[in-house]
């Protein structure tokens, strides 16, 4: 097991680069192997779930080496190496970091994750034609399921998302039983669905979740599942077997202004309001995404209103330098989608954008 974390009288805040470097030094398959016997299954690793509170007769627990993540199809818990230690050791994020750093698993300690991305930007899995075909078919199955499910459709509309946006982005709903049947009916390789993380021996990865596909040239390249049930501990789940893209990038290419948000529903809300937006699916800005947004003259940063969001906004703004404009904290709302549910939420957001724009222009005038 991992050794106790090192005592410290003072804990400074870790930067994004430091967190990436720690994650890179501790491959999830090596960490999990200290708690469970992992066995290869195609390009995956599987085991009986070691997480507390789950008496697994599986194996239900899967480690996705490519995306450095895990998920248990039995107890519906998943995440990265930090989340795994948090669940196993009943600790918070920073204690999980300390426990990892106090362990004996150390790989490539001199290079940060960002440096490795820049040195080899193709090191992450690139989806081939078959994988894109399967993901696109899955997205279409989920989209049809949502349109036929009045309760879930009303749930999405109740979050302020219009039917026009639902159809434009082909949002869906995973019933949890349709996908494997459909793949078999079409005669497609079910193992590829398992490798991508869509299905497992105990059901679908996204069961009973709203599905937000990521699109590129008409093909689905990623899926995100939003929770709809109380038992689902993770609000958003990303597809384990594929690299996370910058959501909405196709819709903003060559535009002078781009809005960066954290979540899918925030992006959909801004697009609905007429703003060109992309979603990070979290707070981490990958190195290749900086280059992908090189065309934008102004980048408005709109993060969650909590402390973590403010830290993230500052980091993103520093990355883009003079091109970045931080939108002030949202009034009485955690994020853009939550603001959309308030009376005059759209008007409040427009005022914040105008305020941020004028503040930046004032700074430039003072410099002159």
Say whether pLDDT at 51 is over 50: yes
Q: What is the phi/psi pair of residue 305, to 5°?
A: -85, -5
Residue 5 has pLDDT above 50, yes or no: no
Confidence class for position 1, pLDDT limits 50, 70, 90: low
DSSP 3-42: PPPPP-S--PPPPHHHHHHHHHHS-HHHHHTTTS--EEET
Highest-confidence range of 122-131, 209-218, 354-363, by mean pLDDT? 209-218
Instruction: Please tell me whether the overall predicted TM-score, pTM, comes out greater than 0.75 for this model.
Output: no
Question: Measured between alpha carbons, how far is residue 339 from residues 258, 269, 293, 343 in Å?
Answer: 19, 9, 26, 8
Beta-carbon neighbour count of residue 90 at 10 Å?
9
Give the span between the Cα atoms of 90 and 84, in whole angstroms: 10
| pLDDT score at 353 | 96
Mean pLDDT of 137-160: 95
pLDDT grade, residue 121 (50/70/90)?
very low
Q: What is the set of domains in the chain, with CATH numbers? A: 16-119 (3.90.580.10), 129-238 (3.90.980.10), 249-367 (3.40.1360.10)
Q: What is the rounded radius of gyration, in angstroms, for the C-alpha atoms of the chain?
A: 21
- Taking residues 128-133, what's their average pLDDT? 88
Least confident of 27-36, 118-127, 159-168, 271-280: 118-127
């Amino acid at each position: 097991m991992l050794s106790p974390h090192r005592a410290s009288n003072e804990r400074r805040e870790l930067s994004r680069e430091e967190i990436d470097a720690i994650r890179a030094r501790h491959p999830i398959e090596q960490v999990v192997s200290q708690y469970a016997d992992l066995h290869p299954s195609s390009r995956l690793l599987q085991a009986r779930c070691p997480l507390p509170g789950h008496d697994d007769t599986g194996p239900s627990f899967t480690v996705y080496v490519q995306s450095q993540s895990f998920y248990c199809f039995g107890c519906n818990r998943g995440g990265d190496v930090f989340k795994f230690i948090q669940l196993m050791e009943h600790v918070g994020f920073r204690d999980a970091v300390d426990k990892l750093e106090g362990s004996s698993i150390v790989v490539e300690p001199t290079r940060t994750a960002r440096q490795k991305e820049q040195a080899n930007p193709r090191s992450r899995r690139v989806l081939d034609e078959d994988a894109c075909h399967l993901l696109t078919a899955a997205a279409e199955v989920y989209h049809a399921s949502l349109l036929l499910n009045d309760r879930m459709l009303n749930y999405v509309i109740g979050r302020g998302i219009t039917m026009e946006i639902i159809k434009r982005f082909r949002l869906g709903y995973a019933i949890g039983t349709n996908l494997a049947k459909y793949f078999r009916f079409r005669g497609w390789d079910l193992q590829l669905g398992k490798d991508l993380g869509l299905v497992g021996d105990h059901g679908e990865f996204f069961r009973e979740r709203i599905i937000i596909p990521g699109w590129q040239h008409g093909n689905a390249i990623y899926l995100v599942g939003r929770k709809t049930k109380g038992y689902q501990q993770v609000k958003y789940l990303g597809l384990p077997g594929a690299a996370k893209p910058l959501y909405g990038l196709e819709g903003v290419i060559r535009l002078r202004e781009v809005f960066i948000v954290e979540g899918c529903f925030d992006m959909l809300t801004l697009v609905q309001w007429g703003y060109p937006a992309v979603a990070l699916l979290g707070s981490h800005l990958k190195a290749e995404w900086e280059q992908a947004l090189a065309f934008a003259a102004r980048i408005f940063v709109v993060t969650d209103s909590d402390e973590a969001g403010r830290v993230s906004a500052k980091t993103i703004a520093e990355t883009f330098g003079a091109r970045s404009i931080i939108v002030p904290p949202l009034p009485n709302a955690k994020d853009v989608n939550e603001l959309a549910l308030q009376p005059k939420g759209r008007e409040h957001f427009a005022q914040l954008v105008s305020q941020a724009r004028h503040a930046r222009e004032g700074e430039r005038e003072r410099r002159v």
